[in-house]
């Protein structure tokens, strides 16, 4: 499993790059100020970073308990990982977007569905590249 410092770097880089891509795009599409989109993005980012740490730790522990190797991870496992992570964020992001941007439920759902299509692709690519640039620093196995 990855060490705590590596998980923190992974999470911060993930969110910073995602915000850098999404704030200008959403600001342009929604005709809202970058600061308004940025504030919502930072809230959702902090939420996602916290959940990312917990989710990835749980995902790795689940793989270990099932007797599956942590690395390498194939395409199917990476895709499942990304879809489950993003899907779980819907329960908070929809109400937050409705409130902050004064969207209807339908508008917030459509916006989230758009993110659900785009962000897992980003997540898949990001995690794949992260593993290439930052190979896992594995913790030693505990003696039996």
Annotate 18-39 with b (16+ C-beta within 10 A) or e (fewer). Answer: bbeebbeebbeeeebeeeebbe
Domain residue spans of the chain: 4-133
pTM of the model: 0.65
| Residue 97 DSSP SS3 | helix
Per-residue pLDDT tens listing for the chain (144 residues): 678 888 889 988 998 999 999 999 999 998 999 999 999 989 988 887 788 888 889 999 999 999 988 888 889 998 889 888 878 888 888 888 999 999 999 999 998 888 878 888 999 999 999 999 988 766 566 666
Beta-bridged to residue 51, according to DSSP, are none
Distance CA 13, CA 52 (A): 12
pLDDT number for residue 128: 93
Tokens 């005709």 identify what position?
Answer: 31
């Amino acid at each position: 499993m990855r060490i705590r410092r590596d998980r923190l770097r992974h999470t911060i880089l993930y969110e910073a790059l995602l915000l850098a891509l999404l704030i200008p795009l959403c600001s342009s599409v929604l005709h809202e100020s970058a600061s308004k989109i940025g504030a919502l993005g930072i809230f959702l980012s902090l939420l996602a970073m916290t959940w990312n740490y917990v989710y990835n730790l749980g995902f790795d522990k689940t793989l270990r308990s099932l007797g599956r190797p942590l690395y390498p991870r194939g395409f199917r496992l990476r895709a499942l990982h990304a879809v489950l992570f993003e899907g779980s964020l819907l329960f908070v992001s929809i109400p937050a977007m409705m409130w902050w941007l004064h969207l209807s439920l339908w508008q917030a759902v459509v916006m989230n569905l758009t993110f659900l299509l785009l962000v897992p692709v980003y997540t898949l690519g990001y995690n794949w590249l992260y593993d290439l640039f930052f190979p896992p620093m594995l913790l030693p196995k505990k003696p039996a």
